Amino acid sequence: MALEEFQAAPRVIQTIDALRLFVTQQRQLGKRLGLVPTMGALHAGHLSLVKKSNEECDVTIVTIFVNPTQFAPHEDLDKYPRTLTQDLKLLAELHVSAVFVPSVEQIYPEDFSTFVDPPSVALPMEGQSRPDHFRGVATVVLKLFNLAQADVAYFGQKDYQQCLVIQRMVKDLGLPIAIEICPIVREPDGLAMSSRNRYLSSEERTQALAISRAIEGARQMVDAGEVDCSRLQCMMRSVMEQAGITRIEYACVAHPETLSQLDAIEDAAIALIAAHVGKTRLIDNCVLK
Ligand code: PAF
């Protein structure tokens, strides 16, 4: 279906000039603007961000852009699910005001060479496995913030380290936008919702459940008084290994603000996992304390 067929509701905006015009008009009307940046292939997790923005803002702008600079050459940029027709239908049901769907050329014009050097919280975990990932994320998010001039931007806790990177960038650069982090939305059986879940075969889908089981197991052990992080990490690894997940990138317990790995839990901690199920890389996390 052609994009033009969606011009009524939500309004589909494809160029930076058109977005600026829309934003200027809304600001002149005194509207409070909420921004939900996404890469599309929307699921209930994304929709929870949209609902939150709708509750708190007069106008919600959703962006759909599969950002090439956050993918390494060997990653899934080409096969990343693109489901624009379905996405626009879901957003229409939520009465979203505008959806910004730029081309790569709009975001990265010829000779583009300005990047954000992300803060140090980008270095561990995802930063080890995906060294340039947060450089691409921070760059596109800063650009989207500049273009949308929103009062609030909404992100999901599933990408926990991404949230920390964006919060730090906003603080360090004094950006005039509030960041809201919304809880992880899970399937009824516990699997954290992700656009990449659709890559999983039914066998892999069952195997992937070990990731949320491991995370939940850590939470239960901490609730029962466990403070030793190596025991928590061993448990998380063994739950996944027993399910046949062998490519575990990390399964660790860290400080929720700095992401430095902990030996023992004192006041605050988060469990984070990244693991491959078949060819699909999945992440999950849970604040333990
Ligand atoms: O979380 C995502 O979908 C992406 O990393 C984001 C924030 C839209 C930037 O491309």
* Judgement on whether residues 17 and 160 belong to the same structural domain of the protein: yes
What are the pLDDT digits (tens) for 235-265? 999 999 999 999 999 999 999 999 999 999 9
What tokens appear for 151 in the block? 């009062």
Q: How confident is the model at residue 2, as a pLDDT? A: 57
Domain membership of residue 60 (yes or no) is: yes
Instruction: Give 142's pLDDT tier (boundaries 50, 70, 90).
Output: very high
Alpha carbon dihedral 12, 153, 256, 131, in 10-degree steps, equals 50
Domain membership of residue 109 (yes or no) is: yes
- Helix intervals (H) in 125-201: 126-129, 133-148, 160-173
Q: Which residue has the CA at smallest separation from atom 5 of ligand 1?
A: 137
* Judgement on whether residues 169 and 255 belong to the same structural domain of the protein: no
% residues pLDDT > 90 (the chain)? 96
Domain membership of residue 201 (yes or no) is: yes
Cβ burial of 54 (10 Å; 0-12, 13-18, 19+) is middle
* Single residue among 119, 147, 182 that ends a domain in this structure: 182
Domain membership of residue 102 (yes or no) is: yes
For residue 7, is pLDDT > 50? no
Say if ligand 1 is within 6 A of residue 142 CB. no
Task: Report the CATH number at residue 70.
Answer: 3.40.50.620
Q: How far is the CA of 263 from the centre of ligand 1 (A)?
A: 31
* Judgement on whether residues 149 and 7 belong to the same structural domain of the protein: yes
Task: Report the CATH number at residue 246.
Answer: 3.30.1300.10
For residue 33, is pLDDT > 50? yes
Helix count (H) and strand count (E) of the chain? 9, 9
What tokens appear for 103 in the block? 């081309």
- Helix intervals (H) in 35-96: 44-56, 84-93
Q: Look up the domain containing 204 and give its range.
A: 195-288
Say if ligand 1 is within 6 A of residue 159 CB. yes
Is residue 42 within 8 A of residue 91, CB to CB? The reply is yes
Mean pLDDT (whole number) for 134-140: 98
Say if ligand 1 is within 6 A of residue 139 CB. no
Q: How far is the CA of 39 from the centre of ligand 1 (A)?
A: 6
Mean pLDDT (whole number) for 34-55: 98
Domain membership of residue 189 (yes or no) is: no
Peptide bond into 68 cis (omega under 30): no
Instruction: Give 1's pLDDT tier (boundaries 50, 70, 90).
Output: low
For residue 180, is pLDDT > 70? yes
Say if ligand 1 is within 6 A of residue 67 CB. yes
Mean pLDDT (whole number) for 155-171: 98
Total number of domains in the chain: 2
* Judgement on whether residues 132 and 263 belong to the same structural domain of the protein: no
Q: How far is the CA of 38 from the centre of ligand 1 (A)?
A: 5
Say if ligand 1 is within 6 A of residue 141 CB. yes
Q: How confident is the model at residue 129, as a pLDDT? A: 94
CA distance linking residue 208 with residue 190, whole number of Å: 10
* Judgement on whether residues 16 and 136 belong to the same structural domain of the protein: yes
What are the pLDDT digits (tens) for 52-74? 999 999 999 999 999 999 999 99
CA distance linking residue 103 with residue 16, whole number of Å: 10
Q: How confident is the model at residue 6, as a pLDDT? A: 46
**Count of CB atoms within 10 A of residue 253's CB?**
25
Instruction: Give 3's pLDDT tier (boundaries 50, 70, 90).
Output: low
* Single residue among 147, 182, 217 that ends a domain in this structure: 182
For residue 8, is pLDDT > 90? no
Q: Is 228 helix (H, G, I), strand (E, B) or coil?
A: strand
* Judgement on whether residues 166 and 212 belong to the same structural domain of the protein: no
Domain membership of residue 50 (yes or no) is: yes
Mean pLDDT (whole number) for 173-184: 98
% residues pLDDT > 70 (the chain)? 97
Domain membership of residue 187 (yes or no) is: no
Is residue 19 within 8 A of residue 146, CB to CB? The reply is no
* Judgement on whether residues 75 and 157 belong to the same structural domain of the protein: yes
Q: How confident is the model at residue 123, as a pLDDT? A: 98
Report the chain's mean pLDDT, rounded to a whole number. 96
* Judgement on whether residues 177 and 199 belong to the same structural domain of the protein: no
* Judgement on whether residues 173 and 202 belong to the same structural domain of the protein: no
What tokens appear for 237 in the block? 């690894």
* Judgement on whether residues 124 and 206 belong to the same structural domain of the protein: no
* Judgement on whether residues 27 and 130 belong to the same structural domain of the protein: yes
Domain membership of residue 188 (yes or no) is: no
* Single residue among 156, 182, 208 that ends a domain in this structure: 182
Q: How confident is the model at residue 154, as a pLDDT? A: 99
Ligand 1 atom at shortest distance from the alpha carbon of 39: 3
* Judgement on whether residues 271 and 171 belong to the same structural domain of the protein: no
For residue 9, is pLDDT > 90? no
Instruction: Give 125's pLDDT tier (boundaries 50, 70, 90).
Output: very high
Q: How confident is the model at residue 134, as a pLDDT? A: 98
Catalytic, out of 46, 95, 133, 276: 46
- At 222, phi and psi to the nearest 5? -70, -40
